[in-house]
Amino acid sequence: MGPLEFPFRVPAFADLDDLFRRHLPCDPTYRCLELGCCPGQYLWYFHNRFGYHPSGLDYLEDGCRETQARCAANELEADIIHADLFDFECNDEYPPWDVIASFGLVEHFEDIMPCLHRHIDLVRPGGYVAIVIPNHAGLNGTILRLHMPDRYRLHNLMSWADLREGLEATNRVEIIEGGHYGRIGFWNTAVYRRARKYGKIPYAAIRAPLWAIEHAGRILPNSSYFSPNIAVIARRTD
């Protein structure tokens, strides 16, 4: 079981880190909840980067066990909640959080509105909602469709406009910043994951040139086609 860490050296993740640090306060009194938390690296990130007390929610029992074990192995105190997002309600034990976050969750729903409302339901008024989804409407979606079409079909091919309009339609949040982030990157195309199955040498042969492209691509602006991530920071207003 490897260490929990946030991949700061990966350019696409560095841009997300910059976004979060621009808008999320560092405050050790804050509590954050990640929806769909397995395997736990973002719980580690929010605790170590911002000082938050992390909680995670996941509907898969095995995912909860894995996340709890990884947090324990990395000496991270985190509350892991086994529940369905659409059934769970805040209560005396779990009052509304200061920050609600999800990574690669919203795009799995054909109708995103119930999922967006659940993000907002679980954060306190004035609290922050951070959402990141893969930009499968751009280059990364094309790559995923070509080599893993079944996985590609599991996703709602959302654009930044789709996510922004959905949040605006709730009439419950103020969008602070959002758009495309990461310049260019291949981590959410499943290319690296698939390459690992062929062994260390093929994996290295595939990763090396793509890694070089990712770092050289830092000269590019964020764009709707090349950027691998769509992300937004919003604040609950109701």
18: domain CATH number is: 3.40.50.150
pLDDT tens, residue by residue, 176-192: 999 999 999 998 888 88
Number of domains in the chain: 1
Q: Is residue 36 part of a domain?
A: yes
Strands 123-134 and 229-236: antiparallel
Q: Is residue 2 part of a domain?
A: no
Q: How far is CA 200 from CA 65, 195, 203, 206, in A?
A: 28, 9, 5, 10
Q: Which of 37-51, 84-98, 100-114, 145-159 has the lowest mean pLDDT?
A: 145-159
Reported as half-sphere exposure (CB side, CA atoms, 13 A), residue 6 has a value of 20
User: Which 8-state DSSP code applies to residue 42?
Assistant: H
Q: From CA 172, how far away is CA 234, in angstroms rounded? A: 10
pTM of the model: 0.94
Q: From CA 31, how far away is CA 108, in angstroms rounded? A: 26
Q: Is residue 135 part of a domain?
A: yes
For residue 115, give the nearest of 81, 162, 153 by alpha carbon: 162
% of the chain with per-residue pLDDT over 70: 99
pLDDT tens, residue by residue, 11-29: 888 999 999 999 999 999 9
Q: Which of 4-13, 74-83, 162-171, 223-232 has the lowest mean pLDDT?
A: 4-13
Q: Is residue 100 part of a domain?
A: yes
> Sorting pLDDT into bands at 50, 70 and 90, what band is 2?
low
% of the chain with per-residue pLDDT over 90: 77
Query: In b/e form, how buried is each residue of 93-121, taking b as 16+ CB within 10 angstroms?
Result: ebebbbbbbbbebbbeeeebeebbebbbb
Q: Is residue 141 part of a domain?
A: yes
